[in-house]
Structure 1
Amino acid sequence: MELCLQELSFFCNVEIIKKKYLSHLEKMSSSNILNQTSAIVGIDMHFLRCVNDHSYQTKLFWAAVVMVSTISIVKFIIVFAILSRLVFAPLSVLTFLAYKYWLTKISVDAVERFLQMQLALAPTRYAYTDITAITSHFKEKLGQGGYGSVYKGVLPGDVHVAIKMLVSSMSNGEEFISEVSSIGRIHHVNVVRLVGFCSEEMRRALVYEYMPRGSLEKYIFSPEKSFSWDKLNQIALGIARGIDYLHRGCDMQILHFDIKPHNILLDSDFTPKIADFGLAKLYPRDNSFLPVSAARGTVGYIAPEMVSRSFGAISSKSDVYSFGMLLLEMAGGRRNVDPQASRSQTYYPSWVYNQMSRQEAVGIHQVERKLCVVALWCIQMKPDDRPAMSEVIDMLETGIDGLEMPPEPFFCGDEFAPAADSSVLSEIPIYTS
């Protein structure tokens, strides 16, 4: 019994020692905590061996086992709590902060990418000295028109551009504003891209992507056939898609008002791109009709309502009419008004309609027949009788079997043929190569 009391006294002394250990545990480092925990567990095991030697299979032994186990569990809980505060809590905070930083970085990167994209999409403003350097002092001239001359230039990175210099005497800013506002932020495969501009007092310039193949005009009026019928249909589709995008794909409806072969440019792959927006106008897409003051364009392509409101209201159908006249020239390989042709063929649209309606054009290619039928739909006198550009695209994508002959435009008689002089009401500068 005395031995047991001694053991209990020893046990109490041990517990006092352990309490001192625990009181200093929080002040220790993580490695010290682990070392001290091992020491305390060793003391517990020594005490159990001591009790086991003198009181094996006694109630005191099992009471001691329960007591030591409980105390050990409590100690481990305390140690784990201290470790959590010293290690896991900071680790959790660091993980949370890293996650927040990652989310913030993603947000910032997204904004930066957006801003960089906006800067990339918007045309660049150049100083006149830059224009002089880009063109090597206007060394290579590409073309000339009523609004000025066009020169070839090279940007850093060997990027070729075409720079249209506006004539100062005619540059009241209207044509400049029309082009920058209408196509300054347009990016479409069938619309020429405005790379930049220059405006210093009365010196103004427009910088476009360079079209190495020049204008469509020199190909369709060439004595030699330049394109296969399939390629010609593909070019016609590209032009139609570009016009449809201007009419429906932008925030504001853009009406070109001067669709003609001269203003269709071709890239290295002969992809057509609509160019020269000097006459273009911006209108809300829900406003289909325009004032007569918008009536400008080139004779031979200008819609009847652009001349007189008695034919109907000016609208996006005016561009459809111009496209129809362009399509006839592409199909026939000749101008719609040719003073050198025989009298019966002087006004080509009239001759084409007569041939189609009499079924005399038996030997022509199916694509040529389709282009002519679509063109005749587009040049109907009344704007309401013409298809929208989206419908024109559908007709060009289908076969000739799915198309019907349109009603006869009443100007198809010879007495309604316009004069052979296809002079320009508002000449647009363009470049060719």
Structure 2
Amino acid sequence: MLTCSDFRKQASPANRMNQIRAFFWSVIPFLKCLEGSLSIGVYVRYPRLMYERYPRLMYVVVGISTIISALDIAKFLFVLCRFVLAPLAVLIFLAYKFWKTRITIDAVEKFLRMQQMIGPMRYTYTDIIAVTSHFKDKLGQGGYGSVYKGVLLPGDFHIAVKMLESNSNCHGEDFMSEVSTIGRIHHVNVVRLVGFCSEEMRRALVYEYMPQGSLDKYIFSAEKSFSWDKLIEIALGIARGINYLHQGCEMQILHFDIKPHNILLDSNFVPKVADFGLAKLYPRDKSFVPSRALRGTVGYIAPEMISRSFGVISSKSDVYSFGMLLLEMAGGRRNADPNAPNSSQAYYPSWVYDRLTEQEVCEISPVADMHELERKLCIVGLWCIQMKSHDRPAMSEVIEMLEGGFDGLQMPSRPFFCDDEHTAVPDSYPLLSELTEISEEDEISDSYVSRIL
């Protein structure tokens, strides 16, 4: 007796498809047999009549059977792609990614083994966890990763550990650049790289800790300020550090990102040039570098980094950035300030240039309230930011200018695009609008962290 379940099985689509398939595949041999019987004269009355009356019946049956077979083949191919080819493609892709990552890791590992013989100490990831007390004291978060405070024993030597995120530098170029450049430098005005860590994709840079933070915390704050003598001393220290990078090493090191965020101060407020993520090594006898070195921060990047019509990219590009830094130290403000009370003061270099040049032609000096050392910083800064790179002094000459007296300094030519009568700056300095494609570092509440990340 048929039950309800038996009826459902018989009425199911899969069962009906099997029945149709069985029917048509059984009819074809029957017709062929019938055709053979007719050809030898076997008398089969009714099938012969049906065959003569419907001669195309066999072709219809064969066509339907072919369609059913095609559906079976399509179903087979679908199952093959879904359960065989798709997993195989995924496995091949994962194997390729692993192979590519393995090559990158091996290249970095080979470089670091060579660096370990001549450079800073290499730490294991377990060491990093220990010196930071399981990353307990976090200084901040930035684009490259997180910075943690740590202590090296014995001696209670304080350090700052920059943990690089795995997706922030997938190929390891910036990591190797910073280890190779700063790892071989020993100068009082350049931050010291104590060590590094590289295990698979976990990478860290270990620096000496700078308790006073970065320079911008002091020059842009009304509460924290230096005397003019101290500012000159800090400016000289920065200049000596940059000059050492350019001339004191076997290979000249171009920083490409000189700005207040990247100048750290130790416990005695001795300045140290830091953050070599964008730095590049070039032979000392090479007067210019490739244009692909276009990197930096808006407001400090040299014009030739944007257009070769201003000159070639060279060590003078760092001189330009240093000049913008000097002007900010002298003015105690950002060079570009759209919120300035007077539109003529929106761009500080243009405004201070006009004040200094008017002093030479007016009996009543418009800069009478300016300190002599302030004017020295401004004039040296204006020399450094000349638009043509060949018009700027070298860092060794900048040091001589800062060490010398004020009376020997001469005013440079106007170093920016504006007419002689109007110095409203946002429109007169078109490079600012051309630099919008260059990414500026994320602002971080702690100024020390915003430098080191």
Q: Which TM-score applies when normalising by structure 2?
A: 0.67
CA distance in 1, matches of 2:251, 2:173: 18
Please give the alpha-carbon distance, in whole angstroms, between the structure 1 residues aligned to 2:264 and 2:176.
21
Contact 1:171/1:202 (8 A) holds in 2? no
- Of stretches 343-352 and 263-272 in structure 1, the one that deviates more from structure 2 is 343-352
Aligned match of 1:131: 128
Say if 2:417 is the partner of 1:411.
Answer: yes
Distance change (3 Å), C-alpha of 1:422 and 1:393: farther
* Pair 1:382-2:380 in alignment: no
- Distance in structure 2 (CA, Å) of the matches to 1:219 and 1:276: 19
- Whether the 8 Å CA contact 2:212–2:264 is kept in 1: the answer is yes
Three-state SS of the structure 1 residue aligned to 2:377 is helix
CA distance in 1, matches of 2:434, 2:378: 21
In 2, distance between residues paired with 1:381 and 1:222? Answer: 29
Worse-matched range after superposition: 206-215 or 352-361: 352-361
1:349 partnered with 2:334: no
- Counterpart in 2 of 1:329? 328
More displaced, 149-158 or 233-242? 149-158
The answer to whether the 8 Å contact 2:350/2:416 transfers is no
- The answer for the alignment partner of 1:213 in structure 2 is 212
Instruction: Report the secondary structure of 2:178's partner residue.
Output: helix
Residue 167 (structure 1) shift: 1.6
User: Are 1:299 and 2:293 an aligned pair?
Assistant: no
Amino acid at match of 2:225: S
Aligned counterpart for 2:376 among listed residues 361, 370, 376: 370
How far, CA to CA, are the matches of 1:213 and 1:148 in structure 2?
21
In structure 2, give the amino acid aligned to 1:147: Y
Distance 1:374 1:192 in 2: 25
| Aligned residue in 2 for 1:36 | none
State whether residues 336 and 346 of structure 2, in contact with CA within 8 Å, keep that contact through their aligned partners in structure 1. Answer: yes
Q: Report the residue type matching 2:380 in the other structure.
A: V
Deviations 1:77-135 (A, max 9, x none): xxxxxxxxxxxxxxxxxxxxxxxxxxxxxxxxxxxxxxxxx989731111111111111
CA distance in 2, matches of 1:146, 1:246: 25
Contact 1:191–1:242 (CA under 8 A) maintained in structure 2: yes
Distance apart, 1:390 and its partner CA: 0.1
Q: Residues of 1 paired with 2:434 and 2:210: CA distance?
A: 30
Amino acid at match of 1:245: Y
Assess, with a 3 A threshold, how the Cα gap between structure 1 residues 421 and 227 changes in structure 2: closer, same or farther. Answer: farther
How far has the Cα of 1:144 moved from its partner?
A: 3.0
Structure 2 alignment gaps of length 5 or more: 1-114, 360-365
Which amino acid is 1:209 matched to?
E
Match of 2:53 in 1: none
Contact 1:299 1:423 in 2 (8 A): no
- Alignment map for 1:255-334 (pairs within 5 Å): 255-334=254-333
Q: Deviations over 1:4-49 (max 9, x none)?
A: xxxxxxxxxxxxxxxxxxxxxxxxxxxxxxxxxxxxxxxxxxxxxx
> What residue in structure 1 maps to residue 84 of structure 2?
none
Contact 1:353 1:408 in 2 (8 A): yes
Instruction: Render the CA deviation track for 1:297-327: whole Å, top value 9, x for unaligned.
Output: 0000000001111211000000000000000
Q: SS state of the match for residue 136, structure 1?
A: coil
Q: Distance in 2 between matches of 1:422 and 1:195?
A: 35
Aligned residue number for residue 145 of structure 1:
142
Q: Which has the larger radius of gyration?
A: 1
Q: 1:183-262 to 2 correspondence within 5 Å?
A: 183-262=182-261
The correspondence for 1:170, drawn from 163, 168, 171, is: 168
What SS does the corresponding residue of 2:298 show, helix, strand or coil? coil
1:416 positional shift: 2.1
Measured at CA, do residues 308 and 423 of structure 1 come closer, stay the same or move farther in structure 2, by a change above 3 Å? closer
CA–CA separation in structure 1 for the residues paired with 2:250 and 2:116: 19
Tell me the secondary structure at the aligned position of residue 147 of structure 2. Answer: strand
Q: 1:206 to 1:225 in 2, by over 3 A?
A: closer
Partners of 1:431 and 1:224 in 2: CA distance: 15
CA-based RMSD: 2.1
| 2:298–2:440 Cα contact (<8 Å) kept | no
Conservation of the 8 A alpha-carbon contact between 1:150 and 1:431: no
Count of residue pairs the alignment pairs up: 316
Residues of 2 paired with 1:207 and 1:179: CA distance?
11
1:427 and 2:441 aligned: yes
**CA distance, structure 2, for counterparts of residue 225 and residue 365 of structure 1:** 19
SS of corresponding position for 1:222: coil
**8 Å CA contact 1:134, 1:153 repeated in 2:** yes
Query: What fraction of aligned residue pairs are identical, expressed as a percent?
Result: 72
Is the CA contact 1:144–1:431 (under 8 Å) kept in the aligned structure 2?
no
- Per-residue deviation at 1:397? 0.3
Quick check: 1:325–1:336 contact (8 Å CA) kept in 2? Answer: yes
Q: Residue 140 of structure 1: CA displacement? A: 1.3
**TM-score by structure 1 length?**
0.70
CA shift in 2, pair 1:420/1:354, >3 Å: farther
Query: Do the aligned residues in 2 keep the contact of 1:260 with 1:322 (CA within 8 Å)?
Result: yes
C-alpha distance after superposition, 1:321-368 (max 9, x if no partner)? 000000000000000111221311111111111111111212110000
Q: Where do 5+ consecutive residues of structure 1 fail to align?
A: 1-117
Contact 2:217 2:224 (C-alpha < 8 Å) held by counterparts: no
Partners of 1:138 and 1:151 within 8 A in 2: yes
Q: Which residue in the other structure is 1:9 paired with?
A: none
1:402 pairs, out of 408, 420, 423, with: 408
Alignment partner of 2:133: what SS? coil
> What's the secondary structure of 1:401's corresponding residue?
coil
Q: Distance in 1 between matches of 2:116 and 2:153?
A: 17
SS of alignment partner, residue 377 of structure 1: helix
